[in-house]
Structure 1
Amino acid sequence: MIISHKNILVSGKHQKSIVTDVFYTNEIVQKPVVIFCHGYKGFKDWGAWDLVANAFAKAGFFFVKFNFSYNGGTVEQPIDFSDLDAFGHNNYIKELDDVESVLDWITTTHTEYTDFIDTTKITLIGHSRGGGIVLIKAAEDARVQKLITWASVSDYKNRFPKGADFEKWENSGVYYVKNGRTKQEMPHYFQFYTSFIENKERLTISRAAKKIKIPHLIIHGSEDPTVSIEEAQKLHAWNRNSHMLIVKEADHVFGTKHPWSQQYLPNALQKIITESVSFAIF
């Protein structure tokens, strides 16, 4: 039987809780840990992520997923974006700190799960922007033993506005991106850019990728309209010991959407789960 605990509050480093879920079987045996990080305009309950969590739990893993503390959700409403001001104050450093807080929690303050987890066997999975976050964290935290990136970006700097759009952002202090699904105008305060510049070396994904010594599986859809397949190829080139899987005809979210009402996984997502489970087994 799969046990799930939803909306656990993990203390973060930036005055906001990290809303976290865990999925595992009730068999009392220490299981490898998989920690999943969502991407830009994402959240832990997006689409089929609960089905993904169940699949990993059935495969024998202790699966953890969470909302980045400044992703725009709240403790009371972890789905979607009820706190756009928090979204605007998010940045890559806060997300890296959130991953560290979750790692700290699962390795030191998880007493009720002690019988179910093996903290010497931790895999990070990141989707899209979250792929860059887990890659950087894996390069700097020895607790991470394996790394999997799904449709990951390869560079953060080139995603900032350019030219006149950048000047407008700098002068006004905020620029907005429309969420096509919720129709919200989602703010990005200029601190997002200044935080990146202040931490540019640490946040350069190529630098981190070249440092990776642990096993790294790179998965990307051949028809991804959001993050080019060339970004996966760059990640692979920077670490020739990595493994790359291109899923034919798969898009950025591997056939899913939000909301996801079906009780089955689309073929592309099932394929990447199968490959990821196989890779993450110790």
Structure 2
Amino acid sequence: MNHSITIKSGEVELAGVLQYPVVEAGAKRADKHPIVIICHGFIGNRMGTDRLFVEAAERLTRRGYLVLRFDYGGCGESSGDYGNGGLDELIAQTRTVIDYASSLDLVDSERLILVGHSLGGAIAVLTAARDARVKSLVLWAPVAHPYMDIRNIIGTKAIEEIDTAGRSDYMHYQFTKRFTDSLAQYQPLTETRGYAGDVLIVHGTADTVIPVDYCFLYQKMFWLRKEGNCDKEVILQGDHTFSNKALRDELFDISLRWIDSIGKRRNDWSLWTI
């Protein structure tokens, strides 16, 4: 069952959908469920390229997870202007969505998981470093160097226009100097130590948008922490959006297996401590 929602974040109204776990006929519904919040990438939306996040949510709900997909301000059906703000606003919007999720009686607050793709992966890392309510992170082809990576996407000409004229148009979005300055300000790789939870990174070897080398960089930085595990999986011939069925199935299988294992470990530990 899908429930359309609107979440107020400052002056922006974030459009989203809350998807409930699939319960077999005659089965008893649990009182509380783990929740997965999906953070989309640069100028993306809650559906994802070729329905990436829709398909992910379908797989997750069939395994007993609540899923919350939302559009960042100025994307999809949300109000606001995406290119006029900065990464600080995206972090704040993510935390507001976490506020909403945490307020739901049927959510198991000890199993709140952020899934972030591309720039959404970087936002997920930056959010988790600031918000202890994030218990686990799943990063799909995450951005590691926001300024450099987004510059490579929109082009150096657009960056030069922003520096000289104050703004530039890309894919009908108007990007301002505040946006590009914030990209340079935030360095998710250096903030990994601020997060103590478990992390999974999945990247494809054929990703031409975000280098697959980043998954090794991220894992190295996460390993420097005193707490928390970090696993990585590299998908052979996987592109940036895992665009064919075999790649998607592998992405979802890896992610679900890992998320399930984290939940089992948490449950086993709770039983052992009792």
- TM-score, normalisation: structure 1: 0.80
Q: Is 1:188 the equivalent of 2:175?
A: yes
Deviation at 1:164, TM superposition (A): 6.8
Pick from 62, 70, 73: which aligns with 1:58? 62
1:90 shift after superposition: 3.5
Compared with structure 1, are the counterparts of its residues 213 and 169 closer, same or farther at alpha carbon in structure 2 (3 Å cutoff)? same
Q: Tell me whether 1:28 sits opposite 2:18 in the alignment.
A: no
Q: Which residue of 2 aligns with 1:177?
A: 170
Q: Which amino acid aligns with 2:133?
A: R
Question: Sequence identity, in percent?
Answer: 20
Tell me the TM-score normalized by structure 2.
0.83
Q: In angstroms, what is the RMSD of aligned CA positions?
A: 2.0
Secondary structure at the counterpart of residue 127 of structure 2 = helix
C-alpha displacement of 1:243: 0.7
Deviations 1:194-229 (A, max 9, x none): 3446xx2xx211111233321100000110011011
Unaligned runs of 5+ in 1: 76-82, 179-184, 257-265
Secondary structure at 2:35 match in 1: strand
Given that 1:24 and 1:58 are in contact with CA atoms closer than 8 Å, whether structure 2 keeps it comes out as: no
Q: Is the 8 A contact 2:143 2:149 kept in 1?
A: no
Where do 5+ consecutive residues of structure 2 fail to align?
A: 224-228, 264-274
> Which letter does structure 2 place at the counterpart of 1:234?
L
User: In the alignment, is the contact (CA less than 8 A) between 2:73 and 2:82 conserved in 1?
Assistant: no
The residue identity in structure 1 corresponding to 2:8 is: S
- SS state at 2:59 partner: helix
| Alpha-carbon distance in structure 2 between the residues aligned to 1:230 and 1:44 | 26
Counterpart for residue 189 of structure 2: 206
Choose which of 144, 149, 152 in structure 2 pairs with 1:159. 149
Q: What residue number does 1:10 align with?
A: 7
What secondary structure sits across from 1:226 in the alignment? coil
2:215 is matched with: 232
2:100 counterpart (105, 122, 126): 105
CA spacing shift, 1:221–1:160, aligned 2, 3 Å: closer
1:140 alignment partner, SS class: coil
More helix by share: 2
- Distance in 2, matches of 1:104 and 1:31, equals 16
Q: Do 1:222 and 1:247's aligned partners in 2 also have CA atoms closer than 8 Å? A: yes
User: Contact conserved, 1:138 with 1:212, CA < 8 A, in 2?
Assistant: yes
Q: How many residues end up aligned between the 2 structures?
A: 245
The aligned residue for residue 245 of structure 1 is: 233
Match of 1:129 in 2: 119
Determine if contact 1:88/1:189 at 8 Å carries over to the other structure. Answer: yes
